[in-house]
Amino acid sequence: MQLIHQNSLILTSSQRFLVNPIKSHKALRIAQWNANGLQQHKDEVKLFLNQNQIDILLLSEMHFTSKNHFTVPGYDLCYTNHPDGTAHVGTAILIKTTIAYYKQLKYAEPIIQATAVRVKGPLRNITIAAVYCPPRHNLKAEHFEAFFQILGPSFLAGGDYNSENTLWGSRLTTTKRYELAKVIQAHYYSYLSTRSPTYWPTDANKIPDLLDFFITNRISVIRRRSSKLRPYLTGFLEG
């Protein structure tokens, strides 16, 4: 798999949906983007997908409701709204229609929203998830553990965790943010980040910081790099 990191699951059903017979995918190009309202950035998203030949785009802060309609030619859209039904936060995945996948159950808690699909890797099935953790909630280690356990033994979960920690390149570490680091270390998960800001506030008095990154399990990164103009991460992965 190939990753790009760009600035830019409450279980609601017992069903899983088979889109196509699962085939093994040895290399996928995956990106993560904090949309901060997807509808108004539709053209920008389409351009990014085409220019970078993205197979799977993980999106956070969709700001969708059940009334929204969003399409990109050549891609399927899977999404999870905030459980209160209003147009804020939420997550989505845009995945090429040529890729066979299972749509996983939505995770739509007020504290975490996530959208996940499962694809077949060369060695095992891999769950790929888009994640958003609203900053107002004080998440504990047990909240993160419950979420990651749902993803299965092999996963890549990318998004806005709103968890600053110098381990993955944030400016500082707050007491609240130790909780996610404890889970990563206890379960030997890996984290992948640009180690450069992914959050650029409109308020000039606020300082840019890194909030968006990937957490993985049982997936090996072979190569990564970053760009000065648009922070992103690439890596050829196998799992």
Report whether pLDDT(211) > 80: no
How does residue 217 score in pLDDT terms, banded at 50, 70 and 90?
very high
Token pair listed for 104: 């996983």
Largest CA-CA distance found in the chain, in angstroms, rounded: 52
**How many whole angstroms separate alpha carbon 69 and alpha carbon 71?**
7
100: Cα separation from own chain's centroid: 19
Predicted local confidence at residue 187, as pLDDT: 96
Q: What three-state secondary structure class fits 110?
A: coil
The count of residues in the chain is: 239
Q: What per-residue string of b and e applies to 43-64 under the rule 16 or more CB within 10 Å gives b?
A: eebeebbeebebbbbbbbbbbb
Q: How much is the pLDDT for 38?
A: 66
Q: Is the pLDDT of residue 145 over 70?
A: yes
Cα 181 to Cα 163: distance, rounded to the nearest angstrom = 9
Q: Is the pLDDT of residue 87 over 70?
A: no
State mean pLDDT over 204-218.
82
Percent of the chain with pLDDT over 90: 25
Q: What does pLDDT average to over the chain? A: 75
Positive or negative: CA dihedral 49, 55, 60, 61: positive
Per residue in 105-116, pLDDT (tens digit) is: 888 888 899 999
Residue 13 confidence (pLDDT): 27
Average pLDDT on 91-107 reads 90
Instruction: Say which CATH architecture domain 2-238 belongs to.
Output: 4-Layer Sandwich (3.60)
Dihedral pair phi/psi, residue 156, rounded to 5°: -135, 120
pTM confidence score:
0.80
Please compute the mean of the pLDDT values over residues 198-226 and round it to a whole number: 73
